[in-house]
Amino acid sequence: MFKGKVVTAVGAISSAALDGVSAAALMTDGVSISGFGATGFLPFSEGQRAALHAVSESGPGADTRPASQIVGTAHADLLRGFDDVDLIGFEGHLMSFDPASRIGDGQALAEVLDRPVVWDFRSADLELGGQGDPLTPFYHFALAKWLGAEQPLAFLTLGAVARLTWVDPRFDRPDIPGAVLAFDTGPGGGLPDALMRARGRPDAGDAAHLAAKGEVDDRVVTGHLAHRYFHRMPPKLVGPDTFAGLLASVGHLSDPDAAATLTAIAAISVNVGIEHCPSPPKRLLVSGEGRHDLPLMRMLDAAFDCPVDRVDDVGLDGDRLDAQAVAYLAVRVANGLPTSCPGTTGVRAAVCGGTISRPG
């Protein structure tokens, strides 16, 4: 579509936490990164969040049209503020842990904005036996090149689940076997907050502060690491019930000790996950809300021999990294380049996923 030219693409994503919609512009040819552009965020209203929650909790077969309307309108309102854009990447909204549960209509968005929109990144990967997620690793590979890395490094995204991308920038392309490996390591940041909500104490204040004051129960941590998930080879994804008994396992502990133990579980799970990588990374770069969790970051720093830094520390936007990744993928799709491979989703072969919708 662009024949390898550097273009300006805007990627937009809907937060799984139902905070709102994020967008970020990226200048790229779909291979290397030439520059970073404007960013934006539009929060969902209380009514919109309630409606999205209602659809998410309705289960399979629910009418997703109201949610799709909310998601589409919010994206259109935010993206109208971006000028001089060649292409839009539209992620939609994930209604559950299932990658196939994304909602949103890219064709409708293309009509409203009068711009080409790339969307539905997962279908081709799922059809070829892949998991459909994660889709950010190829962008992480490009970021490693942009940073000038000469040795393997890892990107860690700390959301409700911790997701790791190991990349070797010495390879020319991310779809070459051995260049990229991506998978969920286990529970991520925010576990102490989830604990407080489960205990009926959403007003407990900064749950991370509680974790800093608590003592880790090593027996609970050891029991958690015996879970069969950690013995599975990647690529692999954490499902909604994979660690269903985790909060119950700290039920006998005080709030500070339970919070500290859950934080240690998140950190140690990442350390165990690193053992699956072809070689130890020379640096660990952390994005996601969990990067603001000081006890978790301290535990990660103590667990690794390599430097552990926030992506913001190396000049990247930790709040908009995923939106930038969608913009990057959109340009790759437009140029017919792969978006996933066996090392990222377990798909049988490198595949270019995504649909291009044009206005009119």
Q: What stretches in the chain show pLDDT beneath 70?
A: 59-61, 96-97, 202-205
Model pLDDT, residue 59: 66
Inter-residue contact 24 to 319 (CB < 8 Å) = no
Give 182-213 pLDDT, tens digit per residue: 999 999 987 888 888 888 876 656 788 889 99
CA dist 25 to 36, 40, 356, Å?
6, 9, 18
Can you tell me which residue has the tokens 């190829």?
Answer: 138
Model pLDDT, residue 204: 57
Query: E strands within the chain?
Result: 7-14, 20-28, 33-43, 87-90, 93-94, 102-103, 117-119, 153-158, 161-167, 180-187, 284-287, 308-310, 355-357
Query: Where does CATH 3.30.420.40 sit in the chain?
Result: 7-122+324-338, 137-314
Model pLDDT, residue 277: 97
Model pLDDT, residue 84: 93
Model pLDDT, residue 196: 85
Query: How far, in Å, CA of 133 to CA of 47, rounded?
Result: 29
Inter-residue contact 52 to 14 (CB < 8 Å) = no
Fold of 7-122+324-338: Nucleotidyltransferase; domain 5 (3.30.420)
Q: Strand, coil or helix: what is 209?
A: helix
Model pLDDT, residue 206: 75
Fold of 137-314: Nucleotidyltransferase; domain 5 (3.30.420)
pTM for the full predicted model: 0.95
Model pLDDT, residue 343: 98
Q: Beta strands 117-119 and 87-90: pairing type?
A: parallel
Taking the alpha carbons of 332, 350, 277, 229 in that order, is the dihedral positive or negative? positive
Give 27-68 pLDDT, tens digit per residue: 999 999 999 999 999 999 999 988 888 877 776 667 788 888
